[in-house]
Amino acid sequence: MRLMTFNLRFPNPVDGHNEWQHRKELVVEIILAHQPDLLGTQEGTVPQLDYLTGHLSGYLPLTAHRQVDVTCQYPTIFYRTPGFKVKESGEFWLSETPTVHRSLSWGSAFPRMVTYGRFAAADREEDFYFLNTHLDHISPEARLNGARMIREHFFPLNQPLILVGDFNEPPDSPVYDQLLGAGSPLRDSWRVLHPPGEEATTQHSFDGRPRGSRIDWILLTPPFRVVNALIVTDNQEGRYPSDHFPYAVEVED
């Protein structure tokens, strides 16, 4: 099973020739080239998500549960069809009032959420949860509490989990420890194959030159076994689909 997390970068006029309208075809091309079975995107606005829905042949967005608001940037799940059956789906805001639309707490710069689906696959006996989130880029307290909410909601389910997203912190940070520390069933898919000294970067400035840290993660529990992990640096003659590199993982169970 192939997994991908991809921060799309919202449509921002200051990006000039890298603005969404100039790279949307490349986004679709790269997703279809890697053929993830499950894809988690971040920063997608409604027009961006509508475009992907219309152009990602063989995929469906997991949005039936969603209160659609054109002012929001949504973490969104796309899944391959056929092959997966959605048994349950939902989302909640990472705030002190998680059921209140666009709520935010702890100094968060934007409303943040986690979206999820419980999937059944034709070749698996056991259902599993696929979660997608984007933690705040400004407030460390909001990131930590958002991670805590995800942990407290999903860990007690005692179901296989895959958690993807843009966590806006590097490995070994407080958020990382919250999600992967003592008592956590999650593993860092990158570190399964690479020791701590072999780190990577998932950010750049539309130029392909790595900057910052590995803030885009795919975390998973048994029985999923990581067989490949790839920072996707695909480009078209130096043009990149986003200011984040997508991150793709192949797993077996």
248, 230 Cβ separation under 8 angstroms: yes
**Token output for 165:** 């997203």
- In this structure, are strands 84-93 and 74-80 parallel, antiparallel, or unpaired? unpaired
Residue 122: which pLDDT band, with cuts at 50, 70 and 90?
Answer: confident
- Residue 123 confidence (pLDDT) above 90: no
Query: Which pTM was predicted?
Result: 0.97
Domains of the chain as residue ranges with CATH = 2-252 (3.60.10.10)
Q: What is the pLDDT of residue 253?
A: 87
Q: Rounded CA gap, 51 and 228, in Å?
A: 29
Q: What is the average pLDDT score of the chain?
A: 97
Residue 28: which pLDDT band, with cuts at 50, 70 and 90?
Answer: very high
Write the pLDDT tens digit of every residue in 84-112: 999 999 999 999 999 999 999 999 999 99
SS3 228: strand
Write the pLDDT tens digit of every residue in 181-199: 999 999 999 999 998 789 9
Q: What is the pLDDT of residue 124?
A: 85
Q: What is the pLDDT of residue 215?
A: 98
**Token output for 46:** 């409604």
The strand order across the sheet containing 247-252 reads 59-61, 74-80, 38-44, 2-7, 247-252, 225-231
Averaged over 193-210, what is the pLDDT? 94
- Residue 43 confidence (pLDDT) above 90: yes
